[in-house]
Every structure is written in structure tokens, then in C-alpha cells.
């Protein structure tokens, strides 16, 4: 072990080692880079840069992550989302005081030396050799900029961040190499601009524009002397000098910067003294990030937009590619959200259903003929606290919704009617539709028949509902046995084809099971968006358009902007105009004189259908005008609440029906959404009223099947068996629908606020 001299200095061996270490390190630097000597860069020789690797493009124009802004259809801001709160600005939009302050405190010889400050390098090498490690840096602004680019690229990956900031000679030499090339290709002003845009200033603010807004609620171009000095002082240690949490320490640091500006001649001593006496003058703007901060209660729509971006291949081949673009930010996303419709939907939901109620409500509105989603809301707010949820009840599971969607009850019946009409059945089609009947022994499917091997039965809502019925009256009263007889007549395959054309899939993305209960009476879980989009095809006379939420996207990279391709709605004919017009006529009868009277609009043509599931776990109303389609669901996300003897929105209900709670929500939402808009008319057809007495007593013509899959015996392909308790729709003398089927306990795994939830 080397001996120290008695005077406490280094031994001769240590001095030799020190000299050798400094010489080696200096030699490595001199060999690895060209130290500044002459010219703007001070390159020792013309060829010294030519031997370097080509300068990475990201050092010329760093891919700085920025905030993404989501806008509604009118250009109003819905929310901002970001992994880094940053807005890139040009140097001309940064206060001259700020430019001078950062140079004065971080690299006062910035405009005098090249990429490397030789004096600083030798001083640091000497000190580091004495300490046996890397205890002091000599980084110029250019070198700091290079390091910050690598840190930015590392993102939130702790391993990559550690690699980008590790204190090694190898990393230092690499930074020095790139710094020389950056100075040659960018020049001082561009380096300063990039540096100010990439640097972290604390309080979640990246870049000078975000910092100016965070601490002083003003743009960077308006920063005065003392404000600029405060922000420049933060760079060295944003947490230590944080003015929000330690005003005294921040003031000392600010004044250090001010006096340094005076020392280098940027300001007079008199200006410095005056500025140092002023208070900090903070005007802090708290960061608002993410869909949870969305205006107009559009958080769920905002989250849906994010999910669409991350899942649609149009934005990148892989999920990782799409996530990288999203996290990079700098996007301006113009959406289809209509602020008037959104306001109306949310006001209607919250006026009819309280946040603290044991059930929730969700609604979505879409534009027929375009597929544009114009509103999306629910009664329980977006969040993670009590009576809040981050689950979007309006959409499928893959896009942030419930695991399976929610059983739709009799709102599925119009799909059966449309399929029968397309098969050539007349709108006056009559079936015996008895009060009670067994499911058919067999029902034809696309590949194989369904067989009633357990003698399942069903009933209508009450004993007064006895056929024969024609389609018009059966739809208005929502007669269960009629529609099961209809599917026995036409088979399930026409319904499968119709629902495929209408984009109807379960909430988990799978096709509707070929089971009578699913094919007629809505025992399968669907989402409000799916239902609203499918019914929009009736409104647009048979044209189904896939739902879309994004109109356009502009991406900002540095100071450049480019447009990104966005998903487009695909419109295709799902049924003939005649079939759609007939369904519109049938469903207008539902709101005029049937189960949906409480939902009807008085000032324009409208049509719709109610739906209530067994034990009243779900209630629906899906309706439309020629220029707007909407679906409303009410129920428990966990599917454990039976809506009997229940108070919803302060109103007591002995029994909840599709027309009694979802119906008024739909009515009020549509009224506000359509206020001031055109009122086009349907192309109605004449459907003669049937003479029911003529065929009464004829129990033939389709032996019927309805929707009470007793205890779930028919749900999802005969899960668990059951007794077929019936239930039907059409209670209250034919004006209030009742459930269509039973759901086995645990079949629907709800989400959000109760046991069995998705998260």
C-alpha cells in the first residue's frame, strides 16, 4: 500500500498515478474528440469529425414528447394528455431574458467556446482523478443537450435512464463526440432553442413553455428578468430549488442567477439589485393531465378515443408502435363529439340517476349515415373513488368497456323483424302467439339446428296477452311468443346474417350465440354503442356505418406538423330501404302507443324499442330520429341488483321497465341534442291493422319461443339448464314490458363498483 508523506500530501506513487491517470484520460479525450482550438467549433483538423459515426437524426431534431390535445367537433378542448407536459416553441418565442439567464448560469462561455470547454474538461479531469471517481462535470450547454436527448429517449424505462445518465468516462466521451457534431450541424441558436425545449424544470413541466405556464401562467415569450432567473436556476436541481415547496431556497437560487447575469454583463448591477429585491411572484397553474380532467363529463369518450388509437392498426402495425406514437404526444385530435349533444346526454343521465344509486346508466348517441359518435356519458363519474368507475359501460370490453356488455332484452326484436322482412315475410305476418308455450322442438341454425332437449317453456308478460298477433301489434306490445314463433319460421341464420351486417357482436367481441333466447329476446350482453349504431341503420334507410370517434389528427414533431391517417367509417347496405322503412313504421308505433310512450318526442318523427331483462337486472331504450340514434342502458354493472322496489334518481319504482327509466333519459337527451337542428321525416309505409278475431284460437303457425331462459338454461348455449320461467314484455295491459329471460348467477361478470368486476 502506498505511503503518504508526513505532511499529509500524496506519496510519490500516488502523484505518479495521478499524473498518469490525468494523462491517459486527457489522451483518451484528445484521441476520441477534436478539442476546440480554432474557428467556430475549434476543430483541430478538418478530418477529425469525418471519422465519427454519422450524427443521429434525433440529435438534430429530438423527438420530444409533448402534450396531446383532444378537441370536440367544434374545436373546443376536451382534455390534454401527456407523458411529458411540453409544448415546443421557437427561440423567437422565448424571452431574451430567459435565453441570457440560462446561458449565464449554466455555460457563460457558451458563445465563446466550441462544443467542449477545454479549461472545464481539464479542471474536471484533475478533480476526478484526485477523488478516484467522477465527482465533477464540465458539461457545456451542448453536452447537456446531448445527454438530455438520450434521457428523453429512455422515457420511463429505469434501466435505459440509468444507462443514459451513468457517470462513466465512456459515456462522457460519447457525449463529447456528438456535441462537436451537433455544434457543426445546428449552430448555437438552434442548440439553445432545443435545450430550452427539452430541459426539465420540475413540477411536471418539460421545456420552457410548460415551465412558464406552470409557475407564472404566462407564455415563455412574456417572462421578465426575475421570472427568467428563477426558471434558469431550477435546471440544476428542480426539486431542491422548487419555489412551490421552498420559497426561501428558490429565492436564493434566483438571486444567484441574477447576480451572475450582472457579472457577465447581461444586465447592470442596478438592474440586478432591483430584481433581487422583488418577490417571486408565482402564479401557479396546476397540471391537468389525462381523461379524468375532461370537460363536459366527456372523460369516457376521451378514454374511448385513446383506446381506439392504441388498438387500431391504422396508427401502427403493433401495439408497441401505436403506444410509442401516443406517448410521444404532440397530437391534436379532432373528434366527432358534439358539445351540445354531450351536454344534453350528461344532464339527462344525472337528472334521472344519482351517482350514489345502486344502479348506473349509460348512453351513447351516433349520427345515422356517418357513424359519428356525437355523445357518450354515464351516471357514475370517471374516477377511482366511491361511486366512480373507470369502466366505460357504453363500449365493448376491448375498448375499455364491461367484460360482456349487458343483456338487451326486447330491444333485440327489431333485428328479428328486419331479418324476416328481408326473407319475404309481409309486415302483416301473423302468428298464434299464445300466452304460454314450449320452445320449438328444433330451430334451424346456419350449420346445425338448436334442439329443445330440456322442454324449455316461455310465457308472455300476463295472461291477457293471447294471440293471434300481427307484427305491428306484436312489436308495439313486445309479445315474446310471437318473435320466438317468427324465428322458428325463418330459422336463426337470417338473424345471424342481419346482425352481422349491423355490426352486432357481444361485449366481449364474439358473435351472438345461435340460441333462440339470444336470437330473439336479447339474452346476450351488448354495449350501448353497438345498439345505437345498429339502430342508426334503420334511421338511414338500411345503411349501416361503423362507429367512428376521430375526425382528424395532426402530429407535431419539433416544429413540424403532419397529418396522420385516421380510421374511416365504412358504410354498407344492411337491408333494403323498404325493410328499413317498414321497421321504422313498426317502431314508431312503440313510442306512439306501445311500451315506449314515455320516451316519445313530440316535435319530430321518432321510433324506438324498450327492453327489460328477467328479474329486472337491465332496462333499455334504444331509439332514433332520421338524424340521430341513441341507446340508454340502466342496471348494475355487477348484474346483482334487481330493480324492484328501488329508488333511482330520487324516484321510487316498484318495478323498472325499459320505457319508464331509460325511456325518459333517452327523451331528454335527444331533445337537447336535437334542439335547433333539422327535423326530417321517416319514409313510412302503410301496414294495415290485422283483424285479430279472424284467427283467434289458431295455435299453429310457429310454435313460439320467448325469452325467459329459465335460470339461464339457454344462455350462451344452454349453460346450466333451467326451467324457462318466461317473463316476456308487455305488462301493464301491454304498455309496460317485462323481462324476457333469466340470467344465471355469475354469468355476467360486471365491472366497476362491485364484486366480480373487471378491475
Give domain status of residue 130, yes or no.
Answer: yes
Give domain status of residue 565, yes or no.
Answer: no
CA distance linking residue 392 with residue 385, whole number of Å? 15
Give domain status of residue 97, yes or no.
Answer: no
Mean predicted lDDT score pLDDT of the chain: 84
Task: Decide if pLDDT at 707 tops 60.
Answer: no
Same domain, 34 and 177: yes
As given in the structure block, the three cell numbers for residue 423 are 326473407
What integer pLDDT is reported at residue 550 of this predicted model?
98
Our count of domains for the chain comes to: 3
Percent of the chain predicted with pLDDT > 90: 67
Task: Decide if pLDDT at 159 tops 90.
Answer: no
Same domain, 399 and 464: yes
As given in the structure block, the three cell numbers for residue 400 are 375499455
What integer pLDDT is reported at residue 203 of this predicted model?
92
Q: Helix 188-198 crosses helix 141-154 at what angle (to 10 degrees)? A: 40
pLDDT tens, position by position, 26-55: 454 444 444 433 333 333 333 333 444 566
Give domain status of residue 43, yes or no.
Answer: yes
| Average pLDDT of span 730-754 | 38
| Average pLDDT of span 94-105 | 97
Same domain, 601 and 644: yes
Same domain, 715 and 624: yes
pLDDT tens, position by position, 223-258: 999 999 999 999 999 999 999 999 999 999 999 999
What integer pLDDT is reported at residue 54 of this predicted model?
61
CA distance linking residue 411 with residue 685, whole number of Å? 21
Q: 188 burial class (0-12, 13-18, 19+ CB within 10 angstroms)?
A: middle
Same domain, 459 and 605: yes
Nearest to 245 by CA among 256, 234, 236: 234
What integer pLDDT is reported at residue 742 of this predicted model?
40
Beta bridge partners of 206: 200
What integer pLDDT is reported at residue 705 of this predicted model?
34
Q: Where is the domain boundary, 245, 262, 288?
A: 288
Task: Decide if pLDDT at 738 tops 50.
Answer: no
DSSP one-letter string for 30-48: HHHS----STTT--S-GGG
CA distance linking residue 389 with residue 226, whole number of Å? 45
Predicted confidence band of residue 635 (pLDDT cuts 50, 70, 90) = very high
Torsion, Cα 399 404 409 412, to 10 degrees, reads: 50
Q: Where is the domain boundary, 199, 216, 247?
A: 199
From first CA to last CA, the distance across the chain in angstroms is: 62
Nearest to 406 by CA among 247, 647, 618, 642: 618
The set of residues, in sequence order, having a beta carbon less than 8 Å from that of 96 and lying 6+ positions away, is none
DSSP 60: H
Q: How many CB atoms lie within 10 A of CB 309?
A: 24
What integer pLDDT is reported at residue 175 of this predicted model?
80
Nearest to 36 by CA among 91, 110, 90, 129: 110
Same domain, 193 and 204: no
Same domain, 50 and 139: yes
pLDDT tens, position by position, 260-313: 999 999 999 999 999 999 999 999 998 888 999 999 999 999 999 999 999 999
Nearest to 213 by CA among 326, 103, 89: 89
Q: How many CB atoms lie within 10 A of CB 537?
A: 28
As given in the structure block, the three cell numbers for residue 679 are 327535423
Same domain, 623 and 525: yes
- What are the C-alpha distances in Å from 129 to residues 116, 168, 510, 749? 19, 13, 67, 65
Please say whether the beta carbons of 151 and 165 come within 8 A: yes
What integer pLDDT is reported at residue 116 of this predicted model?
78
Higher pLDDT, 184 or 357: 357
CA distance linking residue 104 with residue 540, whole number of Å? 66
What integer pLDDT is reported at residue 730 of this predicted model?
35
Give domain status of residue 214, yes or no.
Answer: yes
Provide the domain limits for residue 217.
Answer: 200-288
pLDDT tens, position by position, 311-346: 999 999 999 999 989 998 999 999 999 999 999 999
pTM over 0.95: no
pLDDT tens, position by position, 440-473: 999 999 999 999 998 999 988 888 999 999 999 9
Same domain, 582 and 614: yes
Percent of the chain predicted with pLDDT > 70: 80
Locus of grid cell 479542471: 123
Nearest to 120 by CA among 51, 47, 35: 35
Same domain, 630 and 715: yes
Predicted confidence band of residue 136 (pLDDT cuts 50, 70, 90) = very low
Cα angle, residue 13 at apex, residues 7 and 15 outer, rounded to 5°: 70
Domain with residue 582: its CATH number is 3.40.710.10
Domain with residue 256: its CATH number is 1.10.3810.10
What is the CB-side half-sphere exposure of residue 394 using CA atoms within 13 A? 33
Amino acid at each position: 500500500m502506498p505511503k503518504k508523506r508526513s505532511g499529509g500530501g500524496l506519496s510519490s506513487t500516488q502523484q505518479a498515478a495521478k499524473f498518469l491517470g490525468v494523462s491517459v484520460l486527457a489522451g483518451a479525450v484528445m484521441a476520441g474528440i477534436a478539442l476546440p482550438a480554432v474557428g467556430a467549433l475549434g476543430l483541430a483538423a478538418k478530418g477529425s469529425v469525418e471519422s465519427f459515426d454519422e450524427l443521429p437524426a434525433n440529435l438534430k431534431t429530438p423527438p420530444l414528447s409533448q402534450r396531446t390535445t383532444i378537441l370536440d367537433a367544434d374545436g373546443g378542448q376536451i382534455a390534454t394528455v401527456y407523458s411529458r407536459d411540453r409544448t415546443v416553441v421557437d427561440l423567437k418565442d422565448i424571452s431574451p431574458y430567459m435565453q441570457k439567464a440560462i446561458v449565464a448560469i449554466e455555460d457563460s462561455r457558451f458563445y465563446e467556446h466550441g462544443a467542449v470547454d477545454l479549461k472545464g474538461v481539464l479542471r474536471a479531469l484533475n478533480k476526478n482523478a484526485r477523488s478516484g471517481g467522477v465527482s465533477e462535470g464540465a458539461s457545456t450547454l451542448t453536452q447537456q443537450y446531448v445527454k438530455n436527448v438520450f434521457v428523453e429517449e429512455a422515457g420511463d424505462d429505469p434501466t435505459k435512464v440509468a444507462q443514459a445518465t451513468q457517470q462513466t468516462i465512456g459515456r462522457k466521451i460519447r457525449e463529447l463526440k456528438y456535441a462537436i457534431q451537433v455544434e457543426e450541424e445546428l449552430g448555437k441558436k438552434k442548440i439553445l432553442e432545443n435545450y430550452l425545449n427539452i430541459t426539465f424544470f420540475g413540477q411536471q413541466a418539460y421545456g420552457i413553455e410548460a415551465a412558464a405556464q406552470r409557475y407564472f401562467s404566462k407564455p415563455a415569450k412574456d417572462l421578465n428578468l426575475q421570472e427568467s432567473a428563477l426558471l434558469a436556476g431550477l435546471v440544476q436541481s428542480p426539486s431542491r430549488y422548487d419555489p412551490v415547496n421552498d420559497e426561501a431556497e428558490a429565492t436564493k437560487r434566483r438571486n444567484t442567477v441574477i447576480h451572475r447575469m450582472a457579472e457577465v454583463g447581461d444586465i447592470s448591477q442596478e438592474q440586478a439589485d432591483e430584481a433581487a429585491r422583488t418577490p417571486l411572484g408565482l402564479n401557479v397553474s396546476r397540471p391537468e393531465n389525462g381523461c379524468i380532467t375532461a370537460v363536459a363529463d366527456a372523460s369516457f369518450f376521451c378514454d374511448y378515443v385513446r383506446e381506439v388509437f392504441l388498438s387500431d392498426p391504422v396508427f401502427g402495425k403493433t401495439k408497441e408502435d401505436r403506444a410509442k406514437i401516443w406517448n410521444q404526444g404532440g397530437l391534436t385530435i379532432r373528434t366527432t363529439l358534439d358539445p351540445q349533444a354531450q351536454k344534453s346526454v350528461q344532464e339527462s343521465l344525472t337528472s334521472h340517476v344519482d351517482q350514489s344509486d345502486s344502479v348506473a346508466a349509460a348512453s351513447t348517441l351516433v349520427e345515422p349515415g356517418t357513424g359519428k359518435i356525437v355523445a357518450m356519458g354515464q351516471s357514475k363519474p370517471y374516477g377511482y373513488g366511491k361511486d366512480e368507475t373507470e369502466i366505460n359501460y357504453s363500449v365493448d370490453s376491448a375498448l375499455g368497456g364491461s367484460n360482456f356488455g349487458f343483456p338487451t332484452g326486447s330491444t333485440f326484436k327489431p333485428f328479428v323483424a328486419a331479418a324476416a322482412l328481408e326473407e319475404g315475410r309481409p309486415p302483416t305476418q301473423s302468428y298464434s302467439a299464445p300466452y304460454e308455450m314450449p320452445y320449438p322442438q328444433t330451430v334451424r341454425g346456419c350449420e346445425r339446428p338448436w334442439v329443445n332437449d330440456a322442454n324449455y317453456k316461455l310465457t308472455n308478460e300476463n295472461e291477457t296477452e293471447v294471440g293471434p298477433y300481427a307484427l305491428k301489434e306484436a312489436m308495439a306490445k313486445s309479445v315474446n311468443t310471437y318473435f320466438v314463433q317468427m324465428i322458428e319460421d325463418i330459422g336463426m341464420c337470417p338473424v345471424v346474417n342481419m346482425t352481422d351486417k349491423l355490426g352486432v357482436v357481444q361485449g366481449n367481441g364474439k358473435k351472438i350465440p345461435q340460441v333462440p333466447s339470444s336470437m330473439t329476446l336479447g339474452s346476450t350482453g351488448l354495449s350501448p354503442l353497438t345498439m345505437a349504431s345498429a339502430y342508426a341503420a334503420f334511421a338511414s334507410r338500411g345503411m349501416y356505418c361503423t362507429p367512428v370517434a376521430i375526425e382528424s389528427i395532426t402530429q407535431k414533431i419539433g416544429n413540424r406538423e403532419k397529418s396522420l391517417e385516421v380510421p374511416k367509417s365504412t358504410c354498407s347496405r344492411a337491408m333494403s330501404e323498404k325493410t328499413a322503412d317498414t321497421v321504422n313504421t313498426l317502431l314508431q308505433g312503440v313510442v306512439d302507443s306501445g311500451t315506449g310512450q314515455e320516451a316519445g318526442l313530440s316535435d319530430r318523427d321518432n321510433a324506438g324499442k324498450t327492453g327489460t331483462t328477467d328479474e329486472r337486472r337491465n332496462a333499455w331504450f334504444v331509439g332514433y330520429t332520421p338524424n340521430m340514434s341513441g341507446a340508454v342502458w340502466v342496471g348494475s354493472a355487477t348484474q346483482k341488483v334487481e330493480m324492484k322496489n328501488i329508488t333511482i334518481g330520487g324516484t321510487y319504482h316498484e318495478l323498472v321497465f325499459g320505457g319508464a327509466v331509460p325511456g325518459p333519459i333517452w327523451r331528454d337527451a335527444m331533445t337537447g341534442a336535437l334542439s335547433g337542428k333539422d327535423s326530417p321525416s321517416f319514409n313510412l309505409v302503410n301496414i294495415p291493422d290485422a283483424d285479430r278475431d279472424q284467427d283467434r284460437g289458431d295455435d299453429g303457425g310457429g310454435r313460439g319461443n320467448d325469452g325467459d331462459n329459465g335460470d339461464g338454461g339457454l344462455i350462451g348455449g344452454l349453460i346450466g339448464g333451467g326451467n324457462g320461467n318466461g317473463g316476456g314484455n308487455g305488462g301493464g295491459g301491454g304498455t309496460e314490458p317485462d323481462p324476457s329471460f333469466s340470467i344465471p348467477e355469475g354469468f355476467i361478470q360486471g365491472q366497476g363498483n362491485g364484486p366480480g368486476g373487471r378491475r
